[in-house]
């Protein structure tokens, strides 16, 4: 059993069949957007990176952008660069070619400027659409699916209803040989002992423990007097006593299986199972990292209400309470608030799994239908 998806030359399976037009540097964003306006069927993806950063960020940006190209939801890629940037479009295209996908690059400084590059980009994009439009869905196993997990705009019920519900889906997929990425290191603070015990090997446990401890120290240093805001006065008034309690409510999204790998931001897991990715807690950065890691579907729980989606991977919204589900019904896909109204977690879990199957085969969750295409690449240093 599995889903009908798009098989890629590298053996991966997409749940979508996107042509992505991507900038290699922020200076090319105008051309990418111009192509996107003319050919709205493509996913025009822009970001503020690609130049003027230190070595660590060059590495993260390169890995993330290449990862987005390698995401199986993407069929073909046109990369638009400026010419004098650090992360060059042709080099990036060459790197992605290993996936066997069609990848082309255009350099604005070599193509006679904005209008000529846009015109050429439109031609290439239309040709890619014609080509990928003939692809048909084929049977793919659940072992080909990577789910990315996210919680944002959380409330006191996120950790009681929506996150445990996502944990059920996580266990369901891992049992079928699939992969689940749990991210948001900021929201693991205080659970390092718990997660260490859940690691598949002592080495993975030590890596995980170190990752969370390092991040805790970083948060203290970077946020100074605001470090305690990682658990906010609002959280405490809402009934959460400390950061461990809050974080346990976040990591329960990952379900109950052992942690089999810890990966850097935007890096692809090398094994199936529950994988932890080192990302910021901030939602869009975290979603971007997991999609670069290959996640085809993103499950996003929210209590206050987040409308956020992602350009190349459908985002499924799970509301923690019925008030939110009714108030923002145009943004919400599933109401976990019903767990407090007599619906069993087993029943709601079946519904979520069924929704994942439908989304894998093409049903658009609200954020996707709303074109809530949000993307931000994580950085660690200043811009120069």
Q: Contact between 194 and other proteins (CB under 8 A)?
A: yes
Part in contact with other proteins (CB under 8 A); list of ranges 203-211, 221-229, 232-240, 305-313 = 232-240
> Where do the DSSP E strands lie in 224-320?
259-263, 273-277, 297-302, 315-319
Q: Which listed residue (65, 107, 157, 230) binds other proteins by CB under 8 A?
A: 157
Residue 245 or 264 having the CB closest to other proteins: 245
Which of 152, 100, 381, 379 has the alpha carbon at shortest distance from 266? 379
Residue 191 or 379 having the CB closest to other proteins: 191
- Residue whose structure tokens are 């931000």: 376
User: How many residues of this chain bind other proteins (CB under 8 A)?
Assistant: 21
Question: Is residue 174 within 8 Å of 273, Cβ to Cβ?
Answer: yes
Residue 258 or 362 having the CB closest to other proteins: 258
Residue 269 or 337 having the CB closest to other proteins: 337
Residue 248 or 328 having the CB closest to other proteins: 248
> What's the min distance (Å) between Cβ of 47 and other proteins?
36
Q: Which listed residue (15, 160, 291, 336) binds other proteins by CB under 8 A?
A: 160
> What's the min distance (Å) between Cβ of 240 and other proteins?
8
Could you give the CA distance from residue 15 to residue 4 in angstroms, rounded to a whole number? Answer: 8
Q: Contact between 238 and other proteins (CB under 8 A)?
A: yes
> What's the min distance (Å) between Cβ of 167 and other proteins?
10
* b/e sequence 188-220, b meaning 16+ C-beta within 10 Å: bbbbbeebbebbeeeebbebbbebbeebbeebe
With vertex at residue 246, the alpha carbon angle to CA 245 and CA 248, rounded to the nearest 5 degrees, is 65
> What's the min distance (Å) between Cβ of 155 and other proteins?
8
Part in contact with other proteins (CB under 8 A); list of ranges 38-46, 53-61, 82-90, 152-160 = 152-160
Angle between helices 162-175 and 345-360 (to 10 degrees): 60
Q: Which listed residue (245, 264, 350, 363) binds other proteins by CB under 8 A?
A: 245
Q: Contact between 156 and other proteins (CB under 8 A)?
A: yes
- Residue whose structure tokens are 């230190």: 54
Q: Which listed residue (95, 244, 364, 370) binds other proteins by CB under 8 A?
A: 244
Question: Is residue 54 within 8 Å of 382, Cβ to Cβ?
Answer: yes
Q: Which listed residue (164, 205, 254, 349) binds other proteins by CB under 8 A?
A: 164
Part in contact with other proteins (CB under 8 A); list of ranges 34-42, 122-130, 155-163, 285-293 = 155-163
Q: Contact between 242 and other proteins (CB under 8 A)?
A: yes
The strands making up 13-14's β-sheet, listed across from edge to edge, are 13-14, 2-7, 138-141
Return the SS3 of 263.
Answer: strand
Residue 50 or 164 having the CB closest to other proteins: 164
Q: Contact between 119 and other proteins (CB under 8 A)?
A: no
Q: Contact between 241 and other proteins (CB under 8 A)?
A: yes
Residue 242 or 271 having the CB closest to other proteins: 242
> What's the min distance (Å) between Cβ of 347 and other proteins?
16
Helix residue spans in the chain (DSSP H): 29-38, 55-70, 89-96, 114-132, 162-175, 192-198, 202-223, 233-237, 243-251, 283-292, 322-327, 345-360, 366-369
Contacts of 235 (CB under 8 A, 6+ apart): 156, 246
Binding mask 16-45 for other proteins (x = CB under 8 A): ------------------------------
Binding mask 315-354 for other proteins (x = CB under 8 A): ------------------------xx-x------------
Which of 197, 147, 196, 152 has the alpha carbon at shortest distance from 172? 147
Q: Contact between 182 and other proteins (CB under 8 A)?
A: no
Q: Which two tokens stand for residue 145?
A: 């699916």
Contacts of 102 (CB under 8 A, 6+ apart): 75, 76, 77, 128, 131
In the complex, the residues that contact other proteins under the rule CB under 8 A are 156-157, 159-160, 164, 191, 194, 236, 238-239, 241-245, 248-249, 252, 339-340, 342
């Amino acid at each position: 059993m599995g889903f009908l998806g798009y098989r890629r030359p590298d053996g991966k399976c997409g749940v979508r069949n996107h042509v992505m037009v991507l900038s290699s540097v922020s200076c090319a964003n105008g051309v990418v957007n111009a192509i996107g306006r003319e050919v709205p069927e493509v996913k025009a993806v822009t970001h503020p990176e690609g130049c003027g950063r230190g070595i660590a960020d060059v590495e993260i940006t390169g890995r993330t952008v290449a990862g987005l190209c390698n995401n199986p939801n993407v069929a073909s890629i046109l990369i638009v660069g400026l010419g004098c940037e650090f992360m060059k479009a042709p080099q990036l295209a060459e790197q992605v070619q290993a996936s066997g996908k069609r990848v082309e690059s255009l350099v604005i400084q070599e193509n006679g400027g904005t209008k000529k590059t846009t015109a050429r980009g439109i031609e290439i994009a239309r040709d890619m659409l014609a080509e990928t439009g003939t692809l048909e869905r084929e049977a793919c196993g659940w072992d080909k699916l990577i789910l990315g997990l996210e919680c944002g705009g959380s409330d006191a019920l996120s950790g009681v209803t929506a996150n445990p519900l996502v944990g059920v889906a996580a266990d369901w997929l891992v049992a079928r040989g699939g992969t689940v990425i749990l991210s948001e290191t900021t929201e693991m603070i205080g659970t390092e002992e718990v997660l260490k015990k859940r690691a598949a090997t002592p080495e993975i446990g030590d890596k995980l423990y170190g990752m969370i401890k390092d991040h805790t120290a970083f948060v203290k240093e970077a946020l100074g007097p605001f470090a305690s805001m990682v658990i906010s006065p609002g959280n405490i008034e809402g009934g959460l006593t400390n950061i461990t309690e809050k974080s346990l409510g976040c990591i329960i999204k990952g379900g109950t299986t052992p942690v089999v790998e810890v990966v850097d931001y935007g890096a692809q897991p090398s094994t199936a199972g529950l994988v932890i990715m080192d990302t910021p807690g901030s939602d869009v950065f975290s979603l971007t990292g997991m999609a670069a890691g290959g996640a085809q579907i993103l499950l996003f729980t929210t209590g206050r209400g987040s409308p956020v989606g992602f350009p190349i991977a459908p985002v499924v919204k799970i509301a923690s309470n019925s008030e939110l589900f009714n108030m923002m019904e145009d943004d919400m896909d599933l109401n976990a608030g019903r767990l407090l109204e007599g619906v069993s977690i087993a029943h709601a879990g079946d519904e979520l799994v069924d929704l994942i199957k439908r989304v894998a085969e093409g049903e658009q969750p609200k954020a996707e239908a709303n074109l809530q295409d949000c993307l931000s690449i994580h950085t660690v240093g200043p811009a120069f």
